[in-house]
Amino acid sequence: MTWPRGAQVISEPELVGEFGEAGAGDVVGGLDPRPAREPRPRRPWLWALSGAVVASAVWAGAVYLYPSGDRKPDLHGYRLAGDLCPSVRLKAVGAAIAPKDDTPGLDPELLNDPVLDRAECYLSLRSPAAKKPFSNRWSVDYSVGARVVLHKKTDPAAEFEATRGVTDSSIGTDVKVESVPNLGDSAYVLTQDDGAMELRVLEGGAVFSLSLSAYSQFNSDNGEVPSGEGPDASDLSPYQSAMISDMRDLMARLKH
């Protein structure tokens, strides 16, 4: 409010009794002999209070729109309740190489914990030649590993990206990384210099891994020592599309 020039402003200490009664300084002829005072500015604490109210409202709105980062990862319905091996059917890889051996190469592992669930399974494939009786010959054996980890408390996305070039046996320099589109939230294939491949997929709090490796060995029934090197089993790239197909099948079977 703007006061007329020369008008008197009565501040709080000058109020005596009821509103409208004159103070100790009498008004003579309608004029107050005391010099007029400038209007007092609003008290700073009023501005601080109103600012705090606005800030609190903005903060509350921000919390509502942007929840705290401790939300549980979305598992998209994936669940681990028992042995993983029966869910790893390997129909595509089995058709391209050989059917899987129903006897796990190692004892299956299962961990159920409030923080995460993890299951591992290791299977073997054998070339058709390896099924024949020993006759002093070379054969190629194939090993398949499957691992599924369901993160219940923390988002594994950052770790998933940080380990793009990391395998159990090498880091970065000896590993080729290829992204795989249209599979989960993110997916890539790691290929080591010895030909071993690993397909990794991230979907929400679920991380899937399917690996394929091969090695040649000489089979003899009389102790004969082979001459020369065995067949080259280092190129597994022809089976990459089969691994992707079997990964899709595994993910579908674990979703409930």
CA distance 12 to 100: 93
In the chain, the percentage of residues whose pLDDT exceeds 70 is: 65
State the Cα–Cα distance between residues 58 and 235, nearest whole angstrom.
Answer: 59
The C-alpha R_g of the chain, in whole angstroms, comes to 38
Q: CA dihedral defined by 201, 121, 163, 158, rounded to 10 degrees? A: 60
pLDDT of 134 reads 54
Q: How far apart are CA 115 and CA 243, in angstroms?
A: 29
At 145 the pLDDT is: 95
Nearest of 153, 148, 160, 145 to residue 111 by alpha carbon: 148
Q: In this predicted structure, what is the pLDDT of residue 93?
A: 96
Residue whose tokens read 């929840």: 67
Q: What is the pLDDT of residues 115-152, one digit of tens each?
A: 999 999 999 986 655 555 556 678 888 999 999 999 99
Separation between Cα atoms, residue 89 and residue 184, nearest integer Å: 19
Task: Specify the pLDDT at position 37.
Answer: 53
Between 38 and 10, the more confident residue is: 38
Q: Report long-range pairs for 13-16 (Cβ below 8 Å, ≥24 apart).
A: none
Residue linked to tokens 């008197």: 8
Tell me the range of 44-53, 67-76, 237-246 where mean pLDDT is highest. Answer: 237-246
- The overall average pLDDT reported for the chain is 76
Q: What pLDDT digit, counting tens, does each position of 73-121 carry?
A: 999 999 998 899 999 999 999 999 988 887 766 778 899 999 999 999 9
The whole-number average pLDDT for the span 152-178 is 85
Residue range 42-53: average pLDDT? 39
DSSP string, the chain: -PPPTT-----GGG--SSTT---SS--BTTB-SSPPPPPPPPPHHHHHHHHHHHHHHHHHHHHHHS--TTPPPP-TTB---S-SGGG---HHHHHHT-PBPSS-SS--EEEE-SSEEEEEEEEEEE-GGGGSPP-SEEEEEEEEEEEEEEESSS--HHHHHHTTTB-SS-BSTTEEEEE-SSSSSEEEEEEETTS-EEEEEEETTEEEEEEEEEEEEEE-SS-PPP-S--------GGGHHHHHHHHHHHHHHHB-
Q: Which residues contact 2 (CB under 8 A, 6 or more apart)?
A: none
Q: Average pLDDT, stretch 241-252?
A: 98
* Phi, psi dihedral angles at 244 (to 5 degrees): -65, -40
Tell whether the model's pLDDT for residue 176 goes beyond 80.
yes
pLDDT in tens, 194-236: 889 999 999 999 999 999 999 888 777 777 777 777 788 889 9
Mean pLDDT of 54-78: 58
- Its pTM stands at 0.69
* Residue among 164, 159, 194, 158 at smallest CA distance from 180: 164
